[in-house]
Amino acid sequence: MAHAQTTPAPSEKYYVPHSSPWPIVGAAAMFTTVGGAAMWINGANAGPWAFIFGLALLATMFIGWFGAVIRESEGRLYNEAVDRSFRMGMMWFIFSEVMFFAAFFGALLYARQFSVPWLGGEGTKLMTKILRGDEFEAAWPTNGPANIGGDFRVIPAWGLPALNTAILLTSGLTITIAHHALKAGKRIRLNVSLLLTVLLGFTFVYLQATEYIEAYHEYNLKLSTGIYGSTFFMLTGFHGFHVTVGALMLTVVWFRCLKGHFTPTHHFAFEGAAWYWHFVDVVWLGLFIFVYWL
Amino acid sequence: MSIIKALIVACLVAIVVSLGSALFHLVHDKGESKKMARALTVRVALSVALFVLLFIAWSLGLIQPHGIE
């Protein structure tokens, strides 16, 4: 029959999953989380509770949904078409992440290279400075002519920031060792290197938290400390959040490795999480260079 | 821009290129080749080199971190 000839073989078709409750649970979780945050900001008593409940629901959705995907993958229900769609999804996710950080790095660049020099009277903005009549000299770091947030100091580059850079670089090294070990089928080396990567990741987050406490109490450097404080905390804060997410992903991948998941040619979850880890490492390098040095 | 700063930026660009190359192989090679792992190895090696370069440039007095006295 002509119909039979045009129908692809089962192995080439997409795997169509059974109906799943997770999309609607995810939508409800996001609605509750954001709604709770909005109520909280506006002083409603139920705000924090709704927010926490939303987050718990979100975590349940992630665990349930990803768990289903892992079981389907391990059940060999996925074929090449599904594999391709995962890889395309990863590419677009990364594209959005690059754009996200480009916006914050762009804000830092614009403030430093354009706004602050203009406030200092550079180029055609001399009249701005004369009319304002203050003594503001364009220099970086700054919290502007209004000295927003008061006098502050910056965190020395060779203190915690350099230590954190070394920690992330080492974790980049250990994840690469794990990657090669997985490819070579050396499971013990894979498990040990991946565990080290996860531990180094959480150590980074811990040290970053202590750095924030120090910045607030010792240096008077806050989110509200003018343009320097806001760009510093927005960039390093969102980066720290990404490291936390990356470390959580690697933790799940590590448990999967312990259970014997992944083969030398079939390990997309590992590849995705590993690449993401390299990405947050490179973002930190950019931060370390542009925030502390250049 | 001084030569050392240009060198640091060039190093960062090379790191981003190697990371981009790894993403390309992640999307196209489907886990079969070792090209992605190799590109990421280059990325890590360049990053360590950049960190060392920064330390050497600083200890030679060629570059100073930001600071408010």
Q: Omega of the bond prior to A141 within 30 degrees of 0, cis? A: yes
Q: What is the mean pLDDT of residues B9-27?
A: 94
Per-residue pLDDT of chain A (294 residues; tens, 9 = 90+): 344 445 555 556 677 777 899 999 999 999 999 999 999 999 999 999 999 999 999 999 999 999 999 999 998 888 888 888 999 999 999 999 999 999 999 999 999 989 888 888 887 777 777 777 777 778 888 888 888 888 888 888 888 999 999 999 999 999 999 999 999 999 999 999 999 999 999 999 999 999 999 999 999 999 999 999 999 999 999 999 999 999 999 999 999 999 999 999 889 999 999 999 999 999 999 999 988 888
Q: What is the pLDDT of residue A206?
A: 97
What are the residues whose beta carbons fall under 8 Å from the beta carbon of A104, sequence distance 6 or more? Answer: A231, A234, A235, A238
Distance from CA of B58 to the nearest CA of A (A): 10
A67, HSE (Cβ side, Cα atoms, 13 Å):
9
**pLDDT score recorded for residue A1:** 38
Q: Which helix (H) or strand (E) is A209 found in, with range?
A: helix A187-217
Select from B7, B11, B19, B30 the residue whose CB has the most chain A CBs within 10 Å, as the one to mutate to test that interface: B30
The closest CB to that of B68, out of A153, A172, A272, belongs to A153
**Residues of chain A found within 8 Å of residue B25, distances taken between Cβ atoms:** none
Q: Which residue do the tokens 């701005």 mark?
A: A128
| pLDDT tens for each residue of B40-54 | 999 999 999 999 999
CA–CA min distance A113, chain B (Å): 13
- The gap from C-alpha A271 to its chain's centroid, in whole angstroms, comes to 16
Chain B neighbors of A116, CB-CB under 8 A: none
Residues of B in contact with A285 (CB under 8 A): 12, 15, 47, 50-51
DSSP string, A22-53: HHHHHHHHHHHHHHHHHHHHTT-TTHHHHHHH
This complex has an ipTM of: 0.93
Instruction: Residue A278: list chain B partners with CB under 8 A.
Output: 19, 22, 40, 43-44
Q: Which residue from A269, A280, A271, A208 is spatially nearest to A246, judged by alpha carbons?
A: A280
Nearest to A91 among B5, B23, B31 (CB): B23
Instruction: Give the whole-angstrom CA distance, residue A158 versus residue A178.
Output: 29
Distance from A268 to chain B by nearest Cα, in Å? 7
Q: Do A83 and B19 touch (CB under 8 A)?
A: no
Beta bridge partners of residue B56, listed in sequence order = none
pLDDT score at A13: 67
Of B19, B54, B58, the CB nearest to A282: B19
- Distance from C-alpha of A164 to C-alpha of A21, rounded to nearest angstrom: 41
**Contact indicator for A66, A26 with CB cutoff of 8 Å:** no
For residue A222, give the 3-state DSSP assignment: coil
Q: Which region holds residue A260: left if phi is over 0, alpha if psi is between -120 and 50, else beta?
A: left
Residue A260: Cβ within 10 Å count: 9
| A148/A144 Cα distance (integer angstroms) | 7
| Partner B contacted by A271 (CB < 8 A) | yes
Rounded Cα distance between A143 and B29, Å, is: 48
This prediction's pTM: 0.89
Q: Does B9 touch chain A (CB under 8 A)?
A: yes
pLDDT at position B65: 84
A48 contacts A36 by C-beta, under 8 angstroms: yes
d(CA B38, CA B24): 12
pLDDT at residue B1, as a whole number: 66
* Residues of chain A numbered 192-231 and touching chain B (CB < 8 Å): none
DSSP state of A154: P
Cβ within 8 Å of residue A56, ≥6 positions away: none
Show Cβ contacts of residue A24 under 8 Å, excluding neighbours closer than 6 positions.
Answer: none
Query: Which helix (H) or strand (E) segment is A84 a member of?
Result: helix A80-110
Q: Which residues of A touch B67 (CB under 8 A)?
A: 153-154, 156
Nearest by CB to A176, from B27, B31, B44: name it: B44
pLDDT band at B67 (very low <50, low <70, confident <90, very high): low
CA–CA distance, A41 with A145 (Å, rounded to integer): 30
Distance CA A196, CA A200 (A): 6
Q: What is the pLDDT of residue A2?
A: 42
In 3-state terms, chain A is what percent helix, strand and coil (to 5)?
A: 75, 0, 25
B15 touches chain A (CB under 8 A): yes
Residue A26 distance to chain B (closest CA, Å):
27
Nearest to A283 by CA among A241, A225, A227: A241
